[in-house]
């Protein structure tokens, strides 16, 4: 896979990981009947250690553990899709893995247009609404150095 | 690459059942157990060898195998075991006819004999009741096992392996969904079927084993019977509620 291919896959995997299972299911229905898939692994829930670093030159430390559900599926044509999502939503993980497999196959453009782009737009809109709400409460501090 | 194949259908219960089967095989050397039925491993791996790997191999057990890229990808995905280039550094070695010599594998030390490697050897057939005469811990008198498709000079290498006890290598023989184990304590004597009487005895032993299998079956039937009685209780409750 080329670097741009990896970038694109990272993007759609990120979008799918942030979307709810309901939302992915609704969008996937629009694509048409889903191909049969078999589970290679999971969906199973476990913990991953999130590591942090204080500043650019700080020593890495363990921030804490995070609940993650992962799933790997294989479509009939042998394409394997993976998903790692935060939380315990097994359905989301499985659907995200199916979508990941579809996005690597011939129906990529259709799935991209029907599933990933609308979900990404909804997530962007939600982020912007949140940012606007936060911005409305912004307080500017300044020093009145010029006043005598 | 043909794409990954699935592992155990139920990872927890299947791995527990396989662990029990391997434990039985190790504690009764030469006894053939069945495991891994229903498993579809990538091409050169047998179902039994794949089940053993899924059960025992993990990120802490370096693995050496020569089964090709598909099998390597499958093991990496399902077991997470690191694949090493040198068989001498591996805890598990999966091999068939061209297996590395027993003496070349990790044998542990006198202080830590448990570090000895386990060789999972793919063979073409395992037949009880003929061939080798096995004796040692776990065998009352002797157990007969015939193995087809072993690497050349295996019996001699085994004698040398056994001589360095407590150090040594344990061997698991796999053929399809059948498995027999040779822990390092077992002594192998080449035996040929000479007298008719002995053959008769062996057949009797085989029949005894068949009966014990039946006994297992009947115990399962009893378990099912209990399940049914629970159902009946459920019905009673339903009636009482009605």
Encode pLDDT of A58-109 as tens digits: 889 999 999 999 999 999 888 999 999 999 999 999 999 999 999 998 889 9
Q: Considering only CB atoms, which chain A residues are within 8 Å of B4?
A: 40, 72, 74, 80
Is A58 inside any structural domain? Answer: no
A89: containing domain: 3-43+71-126
Residue B3 and residue A79: Cβ atoms within 8 Å? yes
Reported ipTM: 0.73
Q: Considering only CB atoms, which chain A residues are within 8 Å of B11?
A: 44
Cα B195 from chain centre: 31
Is A82 inside any structural domain? Answer: yes
* DSSP string of B138-195, one letter each residue: T-SS-EEEEEESPPTTHHHHHHHHHHTTTS--EEEEEETTEEEEE-TT-EEE------
Is A52 inside any structural domain? Answer: no
Encode pLDDT of B104-144 as tens digits: 999 999 999 999 999 999 999 999 999 999 999 999 999 99
Tokens, residue B11: 């990872």
Q: Which of A82-86, A108-112, B56-60, B218-222 has the lowest mean pLDDT?
A: B218-222
A6 forms beta bridges with none
CA distance B153 to B171: 15
pLDDT at B98: 76
| Residue among A39, A44, A74 minimizing CB distance to B3 | A74
Higher-pLDDT residue of B227 and A74 is A74
Instruction: Tell whether A74 lies on the interface with B, counting CB pairs under 8 A.
Output: yes
B128 close to B30: Cβ distance less than 8 angstroms? yes
B25 close to B93: Cβ distance less than 8 angstroms? no
CA distance B81 to B78: 8
pLDDT at B38: 85
Q: How many CB atoms lie within 10 A of CB B45?
A: 28
Mean pLDDT, range B82-108, rounded to an integer: 90
Mean pLDDT, range B149-157, rounded to an integer: 90
Asked if the model's pLDDT at residue B172 lies above 70, the reply is yes
Q: Which of A134-148, B83-97, B207-221 has the lowest mean pLDDT?
A: B207-221
CA distance A83 to B141: 55
Is A147 inside any structural domain? Answer: no
pTM: 0.75
**Model confidence at A146, in pLDDT bands (50, 70, 90)?**
low
CA distance B5 to B42: 7
- Look at the block and give the residue holding tokens 């297992």: B216
Encode pLDDT of A10-21 as tens digits: 999 999 999 999
- Delimit the domains of chain B by residue range: 11-192, 193-242
Q: Considering only CB atoms, which chain A residues are within 8 Å of B6?
A: 38-41, 74
pLDDT at B138: 93
Q: In terms of CA atoms, which chain B residue is nearest residue A39?
A: B6
In percent, the amount of chain A with pLDDT more than 70 equals 97
pLDDT at B97: 75
Is A94 inside any structural domain? Answer: yes
Strand, coil or helix: B197: helix
Asked if the model's pLDDT at residue B193 lies above 90, the reply is no
Burial (CB count within 10 angstroms: exposed 0-12, middle 13-18, buried 19+), residue B44: middle
| Residue among B2, B7, B78 minimizing CB distance to A78 | B2
B35 close to B17: Cβ distance less than 8 angstroms? yes
B108 close to B116: Cβ distance less than 8 angstroms? yes
Asked if the model's pLDDT at residue B6 lies above 70, the reply is yes
Asked if the model's pLDDT at residue B199 lies above 50, the reply is no
CATH fold of B11-192 = Rossmann fold (3.40.50)
Asked if the model's pLDDT at residue B235 lies above 70, the reply is no
pLDDT at A54: 85
Residue A41 and residue B7: Cβ atoms within 8 Å? yes
pLDDT at B237: 42
Residue A74 and residue B2: Cβ atoms within 8 Å? no
Q: Considering only CB atoms, which chain A residues are within 8 Å of B3?
A: 74, 78-80
Instruction: Tell whether A41 lies on the interface with B, counting CB pairs under 8 A.
Output: yes
Terminus-to-terminus CA distance in chain B, angstroms?
A: 60
CA distance B159 to B150: 15
In percent, the amount of chain B with pLDDT more than 90 equals 62
Tokens, residue A48: 């991953």
Residue A78 and residue B6: Cβ atoms within 8 Å? no
pLDDT at A147: 59
* DSSP string of B34-98, one letter each residue: E--TT----TTS-HHHHHHHHHH--TTS-EEE-S-HHHHHHHHHHT-PPB-S-GGG-SEEEE-TT
Instruction: Tell whether A38 lies on the interface with B, counting CB pairs under 8 A.
Output: yes
| Residue among A39, A78, A79 minimizing CB distance to B6 | A39
pLDDT at A148: 58
């Amino acid at each position: 896979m080329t670097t741009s291919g990896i970038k694109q896959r990272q993007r759609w995997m990120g979008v799918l990981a942030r979307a709810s299972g309901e939302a992915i299911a609704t969008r996937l229905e629009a694509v048409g009947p889903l191909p049969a898939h078999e589970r290679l692994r999971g969906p199973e829930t476990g913990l991953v250690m999130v590591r942090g670093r204080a500043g650019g030159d700080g020593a890495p430390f363990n921030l804490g553990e995070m609940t993650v559900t992962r799933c790997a599926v294989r479509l009939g044509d042998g394409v394997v899709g993976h998903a790692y999502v935060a939380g315990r939503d097994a359905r989301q993980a499985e659907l995200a893995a199916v979508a990941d497999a579809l996005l690597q196959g011939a129906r990529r453009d259709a799935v991209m247009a029907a599933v990933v782009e609308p979900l990404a737009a909804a997530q962007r809109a939600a982020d912007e609404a949140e940012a606007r709400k936060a911005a409305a409460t912004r307080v500017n501090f300044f020093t009145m150095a010029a006043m005598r | 690459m043909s794409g990954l194949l699935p592992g155990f259908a139920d990872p927890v219960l299947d791995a527990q059942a396989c662990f029990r089967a391997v434990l039985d095989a190790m504690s009764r050397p030469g006894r053939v157990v069945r495991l891994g039925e229903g498993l579809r491993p990538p091409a050169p791996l047998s179902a039994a060898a794949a089940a053993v790997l899924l059960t025992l191999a993990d990120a802490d057990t370096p693995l050496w195998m020569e089964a090709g890229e598909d099998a390597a990808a499958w093991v990496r995905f399902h077991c997470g075991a690191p694949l090493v280039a040198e068989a001498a550094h591996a805890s598990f070695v999966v091999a068939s006819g061209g297996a590395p010599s027993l003496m070349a594998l990790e044998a542990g030390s006198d202080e830590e004999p448990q570090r000895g490697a386990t060789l999972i050897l793919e063979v073409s057939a395992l037949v009880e009741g003929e061939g080798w005469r096995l004796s040692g811990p776990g065998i009352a008198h002797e157990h007969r096992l015939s193995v087809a498709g072993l690497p050349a000079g295996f019996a001699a290498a085994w004698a040398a392996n056994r001589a360095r006890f407590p150090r040594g290598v344990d061997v698991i023989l796999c053929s399809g969904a059948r498995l027999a184990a040779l822990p390092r304590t077992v002594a192998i004597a080449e035996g040929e079927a000479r007298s008719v009487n002995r053959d008769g005895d062996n057949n009797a032993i085989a029949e005894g084993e068949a009966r014990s299998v039946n006994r297992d079956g009947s115990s399962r039937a009893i378990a099912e019977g209990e399940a049914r009685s629970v159902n009946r209780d459920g019905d009673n409750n339903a009636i009482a509620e009605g």
